[in-house]
Each structure stands twice: as structure tokens, then as C-alpha cells.
Chain A
Amino acid sequence: MKLSLIWAADYVDVPADTQAFCDRLDLTGTGVEGVEKLGSALEGVVVGHVLTCAEHPDSDHMHVVTVDVGEEEPLQIVCGAPNIAADIKVPVATVGAVLPSADGGFKIKKSKLRGVVSCGMCCSRRELGQGNDHDGIWVLPEDAPTGMAFSEYLGQGDIVLDLEITPNRPDCLSVVGLAREIGAMYQTPVAFPLQADAAKLDGFTAGEPVADSVQLTITDPDRCQRYTARIIEGVQVGPSPDWLAERVMAAGARSINNVVDVTNYIMFLYGQPLHAFDYDTLKGEDGTVKVIVRPAEDGEEFTTLDGVDRILTSDMTVIATPKSAVALAGVMGGLCSEVEDHTTTILLETATFSRAHTSRTSRNLGLISEASMRYERGVDDVPIADISAAAAALMAEVCGGTVRPGIVDLYPIKSEPVSLIFRPQRFNAMMGADIPVDFVVDILERLGCQVKPSAEEGVLDVVAPTFRPDLEREIDLYEEVVRLWGMDRIAPTLPASPERVGMRERSEVVRSIVNDTLRASGMNETMTYSFVEPADVAAMRMDGLDLGMPVELLNPLNADQSVMRQTILPGLLRSVSYNQHHDTKNIQLYEIGTVFSTASGRKKPKERTRVAGVLAGAMREDGWNQHQAPFDFFDGKGIVENLVRELALPKVRFKELSAEEAPQLQPGRAAQMLSGGTPIGWVGEIHPLVAAAFDAEAPIVAFDLDMVALEKASRPARDYVDVPTFPSVEVDQAFVVAEDVTHEKMEQVMTSAGGKLLEEVALFDVYRDDERVGAGKKSMAYRLIYRAPDRTLTTEEVDKAHAKLVKKVQSATGAEVRG
């Protein structure tokens, strides 16, 4: 909402210190989004006095004029306008001025026109962006001060505030409403103009009663609470007088013609949208007008004033004649009944329409107008007859003509003022303040409420005005009083509850452990988009897996982000590619985030929290004293093993994943992690074809684990084991086994064969050599630690246990002992 301070000053004292005024507006709930000094766009345009006017020697329509612009020397200007003459006042754009134009600005230069030097331009209204009139030069009144900056002349120093009106305050979408608000802000009187404006109508009334010519029908009162019509006859459509054009332009509208400008002026002043129809386009064969407010038909076609053809639905409401729709109720008029230059009779609509229908219509058509914005927030039906009278009177005054007596007024649902109570004691208790009752009463009255003491001691009875549909409950009044009292005046305290305790959910705790562990493992946390390309799953080669249906957005920003991610990996792989293309080769990224999937018949999708990571390059650059090995499968696995330790996961095993089970991974370098038999996730090297699909350079090690599974498997604490007091015996033992014998198998056999005395099995070397070890074979060297908890083991005991272990390994795996 744009508020001209000069306009507002007609009704209330506006503080001279605009900055302080804006601060106060901001603090009391009316956000100031912009402060515009009117006319500042017209720099370099001044009021000029045409001294001489001679015909151009070399043109039959141009003139050469000299213009006094307040400088020492008059300017010589060549002018092509037909109405240029000596001794008139005109706006002159001097050299260097930039005039508003469709393509951004038109700069005035010194030029020669058919051989005659021209140092500026005499301007029409349209050239200055001040209206549509382009018939000739804008001739200013004789008293316009020569040389005055045109912006100053035009706006007389007006300041226009661009105010953010919150959706609960339809009353503030008007100058009068804002005047009332300012009056309450400063506890200062406000002069309301409506009664006087409406009373002017008597002076313009003539002819037959309007009811003779207009018949009204409302088919669904829920959509239209009140509809009124008046007829103004004998109008002359033309440019608006300056004062009117200035006001509507200050309010942010274009000046169109005097009729439309009057409707806009009244709307900006009172917040009531109006619509002017060309009466003759509505007339039926009998010469009268039948106006029907009805639901549109599904599929009904209608062309709005902006020239756009629209297809309506039955949820939308139209104003129609028996023949066809003539306006889209509450949103925009129709092209067919538009007021045009030849229009002589106006049917003036002043009505209210359903907030919900208007809101949906506006959203469904993508059409927001000054009217729809007001109707969807709520327009007061009570003062409609007066506002209609004020509008009709002004139209007759400005456009000529007379107003037919009376009003056609269908008023099926009348808004009643709401009665509320206000308990000052409870109010102060809830605010934590001590605001005097006198202040409460004064503010509520200034806002338009009626306040009187209730029968109950210490309670106020409050009747809220119909123009404040947001004042429905006691709490709504609290807000009004506290914001105008000043929130800054309320002392800060902390809640005094003895009962509160701060707790983190187990999922939060697990998430913290995962974060800490991954960070300790050198990983860097990142975030990627939750929406991805539908083709990402295929690019991951995971389209054959059962990931559920993707969750589609109905209104994505673009096709590349039209579904919710089913895995975090594509985002991470894009980041790998981004880094590699920005000369960062060592990449360690992880993300904890949500993945989504759905199924047919489901309303809400499934959400799972996953933790995924990618490693490419090495942990860091080689240092002066440290060599960094490039990442491979075991770096990823090591990080997962760190998580296993920190979350105390029980019975963990890593199982090889086949190409079918994990098509996104390179076969042979892919494993599933299970805890207690439950799959937790996977770790592996990304398939080179997947890496290529994301324009990233392989090898990339990755892991992807389910956070809920991790949380469920995790144990809050690890078990205590006695610290050994007796010495251990270490035996190093190498076995030569076939390639397909896994470490897991060896470990299982040794653990079961070693019995109670075997404390630890640690692999310390894997060695392959076709000659020394044999083709298709590998040597696996283990360090075995034997210990008894209660005594020092003898050599014989260890030898015996170890011999048994070796024998078992040999028989179970076909291993040979390597000397």
C-alpha cells in the first residue's frame, strides 16, 4: 500500500520527521518498505515559460521556441507539438534529463532538427510518465513558477511511503484506515471525510430512480454479501484533473481517464473497490439492465480488462447480464463492458465478495488486482451505500453529468459488530506489563471500538468495528493495545517454570556421535539439494533397485529439480565433480539428510534419514614428513568401522555385494554392513560408469548408511572388560590360502579353534607372489595373542593351543603353513 503523506495529512497530523514516523510505523506493525520522494525520477525537468514561438524555417509543423527556464539565457528548443504557443508555461526537459520510457529511460541531448539547434524538449504528460495524454504539450497553469524543478512543482514535496500491510489489516489498505492508525499511534484526532463526501451527492441527483433501470439478482449470498448499483448519466470521459491524477498516481496506479480514476481514488481513500461499467453495453432489449451475480460455469470463457482470455470454473463468481458475464467478481472487469472515450452512462458497482472465493479465483488465475487484494482480506459491507454515494458525487463533479436518484442495493448478509470483553488484569498478566486501563480504553476507541465498563468488576465490554474483521477475540484486542503501547516498553524476563528439563532425543544423540566420528575421521560435512533430476536414479544405475516411487513436485522450479531425492549420493557426486573442476582433488564430504519415497495410494511419502559420504583423491597433500596414500575401498570401510566402534554396534559383519545387489558400485569393491543381521547400509567404490555419468573422476569411495538402523543397533555404552594382569604370549603365524578364502573365514576358524586362551587375532600382512606363494594364492600373516586371565601361561600350554589352531585352519580352509 502506497501512502501519500500529503493525502494522509488531509485527515490527520503527520509528523514532520519522516524518519521517526517510519520507525514508529515499523515498531507498531506497519512495515515501511520504501520511502519515495515523489517526482525524483524527473530530475532535469523544470517549469519553463515560452517567450517566443516562431515557425521552423524548414518544416511545416515544427516550431522554434525560446523558453525561460530560470537560467540567465533562455533555451532554444525545436518543438513539434500542435499546441505550442508563446507565453504559456510548459514542462521542459533540459539537456541531460532522463525521461521515463518503456525501455528504461530516454536521455535528452543537444541536437539539430532540420538544421536548427534544440537544447531540450517540451514535454507531454505521457513523456513524463504522468498520464496517457499525448495530444500535445502539457500546458501548465499560468502561476506555475518558472524554473522550479518539475518534481517539486508536481508533488509539492510529497513523500510516498510503501507500506507492508499484513493480511489481518484490510482496513489499512486505505488512506482513511491509515489515518485512523496514525491517530491511534500518536493519540491524535482524525477527521473522517465519508459523511461529507456522501452528502455531496444531493447536488448532482437528477432523472428517474435508478431502480427503474436496474434489476439485481444474487444467486449465492455466500459469495456476495452486498451488491449495489448507481447510474451516472451524461458523463464526458476524458483526462482527469491534475489533483485527481496526482492522487491516484501517488497511490501507485496509472491515471487512465476521469471515470476510472474516480473509482480508483475512492478505493484508495476508503479501501472499497468499485467498478464502473459502460451502462449501454449492459442494456438488454427492453433498455433496462439485469445484473446477475452468479457462479461461473465450468469452462466458461471470459476476457478480462487486461485483454487476457480466461477459462473459468464454477468456484469463480461473475457479474453477468442474462446474455454473458461482464466482470469477474472481486478481481477484474471485463473487456466488453469497459468504459471508453465515447461512454456516456456509467453503472457503478459497489459490492463485497467472499474472501475465500476471491482468494482462490485470484490464485487459480494467477491474477492479483488491487480489488482482489482487498476482497480476499475482507471489505466492510456496512458503509457501502455511503461510499457509493461519495463515488457517484465525485464522478459527476469530475466527469460532468448527473446521478440517478437512489441506489439498487441487495444486502442478503449484513455484518454485525462483534462484542468482546477485555480483562485488563489478565492482559497485563499475559504481557508481563502494567499498562493503565485509561490507555487501553483510549487506544481501543481510537481504533474504532466502542468501550464501556462491563457488569463484571474490572472488565471492559468492547464492540469491535465491522471494518476490523481481525478483531474477533479478546486476544486480538491485546495485540492492538500492546503494539501501540510499545513492545519495547515491556521488561524482558525469563520463564519461571520449575518443571522444565532440557533433553535431547536418542536420535539427536546418535546423530551427534555420527557427526563427531565422521569429523574425527577427516570428513567434511556438506549439504546438497533435496530436489533432484528424475534421471538421477538411472544415472546412479539404481533404477533396477526397489527404492519405491519418487516423490514428485507439482510445481518444481525447474525440470532439473522436480523430484525429491531417493538417495543422497547424486548430490555428493555433483559436489565431487564441482570440486574436481575447481582444482580440488582431495575430497572428503558427507551429508546427513532426508531421502524420500512414496507408493501409489499413499498421501505422505516415507522419509528416511541417511548418512552418506564420498572420498576422492587422498586425505591431504603429501607433507614434508608424511605420505598420503590415495583413497581406496578400505578408507571408506575404516570410517564405517569407526562408526561401529563409537556407536558400539554389536555383531557387525561386512558382506560382499554383487553387481546386481549394488549396481552403483564397482563389483568386487562393494560391501554391505550388517549389525546383528540387520542391514545398516553399504560401503564401496562408486562404479566408474556412475562417476562418469556425474562428470566426476573415479575412483570415488562412498558409503551410505541408514540413520534409524544405526540408532536402533547402537548401544548407549560399551561393556567393561577386565584389564589383563598376567602377561600374554604373541605368536606370528602366516598361512597360504586360495584367493577365495576370506579374512572373515580365517578369523572365524581361528576364533573358534583358539578357545578361551586366544585373546586377539590381528591380520598384519597379505602377500601375493606367483613364485613364492603360488598363483591364485595369497599369504595371510596373523598376530595371535594368547593369554589366560588368571595365570601366566606356560610355553607348553601355548604350543598346544596354537598347534590345535593351525590344524583347524588347515583342515577348514586348505591353508598351508608358511615357514
Chain B
Amino acid sequence: MTIVEELGSLKSSVLADIASAQDTQALEAIRVAVLGKSGTLTAYLRNMGSVPKEQKAEVGRAVNEAREAVEAALEVAKADLSARELAAAIASDAVDVTLPGRAQQIGTRHLINGMIDEISQVFLGLGYSVIEGPEVETDYYNFEALNAPPDHPSRSMQDTFYVKDLSGESSAVKGESDVLLRTQTSGAQVHAMEDRTLPIYVIAPGKVYRRDVADPSHLPQFHQIEGLVVDKGITFGDLKGTLDFACKAIFGPERRTRFRAHYFPFTEPSAEVDVSCAVCNGEGCRMCKGTGWLELLGCGMVDPNVLQMSGIDAEVYSGFAFGLGVERAACLKYNVPDLRMLLEGDMRFLRQF
């Protein structure tokens, strides 16, 4: 057999091996056996020197041809096999994507504070600062500076928790003292007017207390967000526009507001604000007791007495204030059936929000 014939048969046997290789590993073994340092085809290349001169050209061509053919075949086979191997690997890696993921537990925000965050965000956007005030107040900040002197009938509208006054002073009314758990966040208004420079745009979220026995619709402690604006040229229309904007931002753009004239000692004119019922869209249903409206907050133009008591000239400045019950707002938004759930710490409830 001539060298050229040998090369021909080597080539065809290698090509056959390549064609039958099962995986890239087998393919690599073939490559090493044929083209590696001591490969069969390499040996021919290395032995070219001993090939008779007249055959060199022919043998050389045959070797090169064989090598090119093998390399080409290897390449094709490799591409094919690696694609198949990848496909197989991917196929075997598949998981049931409906199995639960591997996550850290994320904690939850209390519904009420979540609501306060949401409302604060709206007012921050409107250019209001967020302030805080104490939960135990003196009578002055809770009532008197808000235009409700000691015997004002409006005081009986709010049943107040009184705190033992250890300073030795006593109150005119039995069982009361000058120190109390604030019944409204409105005291923050007075602090803001005393402590801040004009103009004032603030909201004061916080806990307030009233002597109501806890039941599905009452809690002795709940939250309000007080708002106060004092600036030149503030109008009742500004009050309406601000609260209308806030209600839509919080409850949805399709909600409407309604202002009902009312009375609060520290604002005048005063109003209560209703928001249209989301359940019936104002048509009247059980949720809104057939009225189509849900009571949300109290508001009004800051009474000039309140401004004057804090040393602000009521002829130059005007302002508005509002107080919103957060639990009420949360109930309107989430339909919580029993307010007491807010204070139980039941994980099954808290984890919903």
C-alpha cells in the first residue's frame, strides 16, 4: 500500500470515528489521537523528510488534505455535539418554576402608620413639613389656646383622660386636672405657631386619646393628622382645594369631597369634610348608611383668636387647619371590620399589609 493509500484509509477511518463520536469528550480523544503530538496524522507530517523526493509533492498534498478534512469534520462535529450537550444540560436543569422562591422575610408596616406615611407623602409634595408634638399636654395647648376656655361646652364633646398633676395644682372640675392626654393633635398647631417662622405649612401626625371603651368602631387611642397653614392671602378656597387634592391622592381620583358647615372652637368658618363612598360611588349603600358620603375630617379657617394668642396678626395673615382621623381613613380604604384588630398585634392581620 502506498503512503497515499495509507493516508486515504486513515482519513476515512478517522472521519468514520468522528461521525460516530458520542460526545465532545470522545471527539477530543480522536483529535488528540490523530492530530496531537503523537497523533497518527502528525506522524506522517513528521516523517515527510523520509519520503522519497519524487513522492513528496503527492504525499504532502495527501497529508494536508487528510488533515484539513479531519479538522473540518472535527469542527462540525464539535459544534453539533456541544449544542446537543448544552441542550441536554439545560433540559436536565429545568425546575418546577411554581416552587416557592428562596427569599428573606420582608417585614410589614402597621396599617395605620402606612396610612400616615402615605398622607405625609402627599403633603410633603405640597410643600408641608412634618412635625411632632407631645402626647401628654397641658390644658392650655389642648383646649385653651385653641379657643376653648375651661367652661366651654365644646369640651364635653370630647371625653378626656386626665393625668395626675404632681405639681400640687388642682382643677375646678372634680376628677380633672390641667394635665391630660391630648384629645386632638390640634395642640401641635399652637406649638407650630409659637416655635416656627411664618409662613407655616405643617402637618403633625400623632396618637390621641379619648375616653371611649374599645369596641368595633371606637378605640380609646387612635391617630390624627393635623394640618396647619398660616400665610398671607390664604382663602377658604385654598382649604377646599388642598383637601380635595389630598382626598383624591389618597382615595383615588374618582372620589369627590363635600364640605358641611360645622363648629370647632379653633376654626371659623369650620366644616366637616365627607368623601364620596367608594362602595356605591355616592349612590347610597350600607357602608355610607345610604347617604353616599363618608365623614372623613374636620377643618376650617384658623380662628383669629388662635392666631392672636400665638402673636400672629390676623389682619395680615390668615390660615387654615384640618384634622383627619387616620383610623377612619384606613377603615374607609381597607374596610377593617373591627378597630380593635389594630392593637392586638395578631400576626395574621399585620402580615396582610
Chain A positions within 8 Å of B, measured between CB atoms, are 26-29, 31, 166-169, 315, 355-357, 359-360, 363-364, 376-377, 429-433, 473, 475-476, 478-479, 482-483, 487-488, 490-497, 499-505, 507-508, 515, 518-531, 549, 551-557, 561, 564, 571-572, 574-576, 578-579, 582, 584, 586-590, 593-594, 596, 598-605, 607, 619-620, 623-626
Partner of A492, one of B173, B241, B303: B241
**CB proximity to A under 8 Å, residues B297-337:** 301, 303-304, 318
Is A578 a contact partner of B108 (Cβ separation < 8 A)? no
Is A519 a contact partner of B108 (Cβ separation < 8 A)? yes
B171 CB to closest chain A CB, in angstroms?
9
Residues of chain B at interface, number, CB under 8 A: 97
B301 CB to closest chain A CB, in angstroms?
7
With A29-B260, A529-B343, A555-B211 as given contacts, are A500 and B199 in contact (CB-CB < 8 Å)?
A: yes
Partner of B240, one of A26, A490, A624: A490
Is B136 a contact partner of A607 (Cβ separation < 8 A)? yes
Is B124 a contact partner of A603 (Cβ separation < 8 A)? no
Chain B residue at smallest Cβ distance from A166: B263
Is B128 a contact partner of A502 (Cβ separation < 8 A)? yes
Q: Does B126 contact A (CB under 8 A)?
A: yes
Is B109 a contact partner of A519 (Cβ separation < 8 A)? yes
**CB proximity to A under 8 Å, residues B82-141:** 99-100, 102, 104-110, 112-113, 123-132, 134-138
**Residues of A close to B34: CB separation below 8 A:** none
Chain A residue at smallest Cβ distance from B319: A495
Q: Does B266 contact A (CB under 8 A)?
A: no
Is B150 a contact partner of A529 (Cβ separation < 8 A)? no
Is A495 a contact partner of B161 (Cβ separation < 8 A)? no
Partner of A553, one of B138, B162, B262, B345: B162
Is B236 a contact partner of A473 (Cβ separation < 8 A)? no
Is A497 a contact partner of B236 (Cβ separation < 8 A)? no
Is B199 a contact partner of A499 (Cβ separation < 8 A)? yes
Is A27 a contact partner of B178 (Cβ separation < 8 A)? no
Is B130 a contact partner of A551 (Cβ separation < 8 A)? no
Is A522 a contact partner of B229 (Cβ separation < 8 A)? no
> How far, in angstroms, from A478 to B240 measured CA to CA in the complex?
16
With A490-B237, A603-B179 as given contacts, are A551 and B134 in contact (CB-CB < 8 Å)?
A: no
Partner of A430, one of B134, B318, B350: B318
Shortest 10 CB-CB distances between A and B: which pairs? Answer: A575-B345, A432-B237, A432-B235, A166-B263, A29-B261, A492-B241, A483-B261, A356-B151, A167-B153, A519-B107
**Residues of B close to A488: CB separation below 8 A:** 258-259
With A504-B130, A564-B163 as given contacts, are A554 and B176 in contact (CB-CB < 8 Å)?
A: yes
With A589-B347, A600-B166 as given contacts, are A315 and B172 in contact (CB-CB < 8 Å)?
A: yes
> How far, in angstroms, from A491 to B304 measured CA to CA in the complex?
23
Is A582 a contact partner of B201 (Cβ separation < 8 A)? no
Partner of A520, one of B106, B134, B207, B237: B106
Interface 9-residue window, one of B18-26, B40-48, B55-63, B267-275 = B267-275
A575 CB to closest chain B CB, in angstroms?
3
How does the 8 Å CB contact mask read for B334-353 relative to A, with 1 for contact and 0 for none?
A: 00000000111111101100
**Residues of B close to A601: CB separation below 8 A:** 166-168
> How far, in angstroms, from A166 to B135 measured CA to CA in the complex?
27
Known: A487-B236, A601-B167. 18 other contacts (CB 8 A): A27-B261, A28-B261, A431-B235, A475-B268, A478-B269, A479-B269, A493-B238, A495-B231, A497-B199, A503-B130, A505-B132, A520-B106, A522-B104, A524-B351, A554-B175, A575-B344, A579-B346, A619-B104
> How far, in angstroms, from A491 to B232 measured CA to CA in the complex?
19
> How far, in angstroms, from A192 to B101 measured CA to CA in the complex?
79
Chain A residue at smallest Cβ distance from B344: A578
**Residues of A close to B169: CB separation below 8 A:** 603
> How far, in angstroms, from A283 to B83 measured CA to CA in the complex?
121
B159 CB to closest chain A CB, in angstroms?
9
> How far, in angstroms, from A529 to B269 measured CA to CA in the complex?
35
Partner of A493, one of B108, B113, B168, B237: B237
With A505-B132, A607-B135 as given contacts, are A491 and B269 in contact (CB-CB < 8 Å)?
A: no
> How far, in angstroms, from A27 to B272 measured CA to CA in the complex?
9
A-B contact pairs, 15 of them (CB 8 A): A166-B263, A167-B152, A360-B173, A430-B318, A482-B269, A490-B240, A493-B238, A493-B240, A494-B126, A495-B201, A505-B131, A522-B104, A554-B164, A603-B169, A624-B99
> How far, in angstroms, from A602 to B178 measured CA to CA in the complex?
12
**Residues of B close to A483: CB separation below 8 A:** 261, 269
> How far, in angstroms, from A490 to B231 measured CA to CA in the complex?
20
Partner of A551, one of B100, B126, B163: B163
Is A528 a contact partner of B343 (Cβ separation < 8 A)? yes
Is B345 a contact partner of A579 (Cβ separation < 8 A)? yes
Partner of A433, one of B151, B236, B241, B259: B236
Q: Does B281 contact A (CB under 8 A)?
A: no
With A360-B173, A475-B304, A552-B164 as given contacts, are A430 and B132 in contact (CB-CB < 8 Å)?
A: no
A374 CB to closest chain B CB, in angstroms?
10
**CB proximity to A under 8 Å, residues B171-226:** 172-179, 181, 199, 201, 207, 209, 211, 213, 220-221
With A360-B173, A479-B268, A554-B164 as given contacts, are A527 and B129 in contact (CB-CB < 8 Å)?
A: no
Q: Does B50 contact A (CB under 8 A)?
A: no
> How far, in angstroms, from A750 to B99 measured CA to CA in the complex?
46
Is A355 a contact partner of B151 (Cβ separation < 8 A)? yes
**Residues of B close to A26: CB separation below 8 A:** 260
Is A431 a contact partner of B236 (Cβ separation < 8 A)? yes
> How far, in angstroms, from A125 to B233 measured CA to CA in the complex?
62
Q: Does B154 contact A (CB under 8 A)?
A: yes
Chain B residue at smallest Cβ distance from A501: B127
Is B237 a contact partner of A433 (Cβ separation < 8 A)? yes
B251 CB to closest chain A CB, in angstroms?
16
> How far, in angstroms, from A496 to B233 measured CA to CA in the complex?
8
Chain B residue at smallest Cβ distance from A556: B161
> How far, in angstroms, from A500 to B196 measured CA to CA in the complex?
13
> How far, in angstroms, from A588 to B345 measured CA to CA in the complex?
10
Is A429 a contact partner of B221 (Cβ separation < 8 A)? no
**Residues of B close to A494: CB separation below 8 A:** 126, 238, 241-242, 245
With A356-B150, A430-B236, A490-B236 as given contacts, are A582 and B346 in contact (CB-CB < 8 Å)?
A: yes
Q: Does B156 contact A (CB under 8 A)?
A: yes
> How far, in angstroms, from A465 to B163 measured CA to CA in the complex?
41
**Residues of B close to A499: CB separation below 8 A:** 199, 231
> How far, in angstroms, from A478 to B304 measured CA to CA in the complex?
12
> How far, in angstroms, from A775 to B97 measured CA to CA in the complex?
50
> How far, in angstroms, from A496 to B303 measured CA to CA in the complex?
21
Is A579 a contact partner of B347 (Cβ separation < 8 A)? yes
Q: Does B51 contact A (CB under 8 A)?
A: no
A774 CB to closest chain B CB, in angstroms?
38
**Residues of A close to B258: CB separation below 8 A:** 27, 488
Is A27 a contact partner of B237 (Cβ separation < 8 A)? no
**Residues of A close to B165: CB separation below 8 A:** 603
> How far, in angstroms, from A587 to B232 measured CA to CA in the complex?
52
> How far, in angstroms, from A487 to B237 measured CA to CA in the complex?
9
With A493-B235, A525-B113, A598-B166 as given contacts, are A557 and B211 in contact (CB-CB < 8 Å)?
A: yes
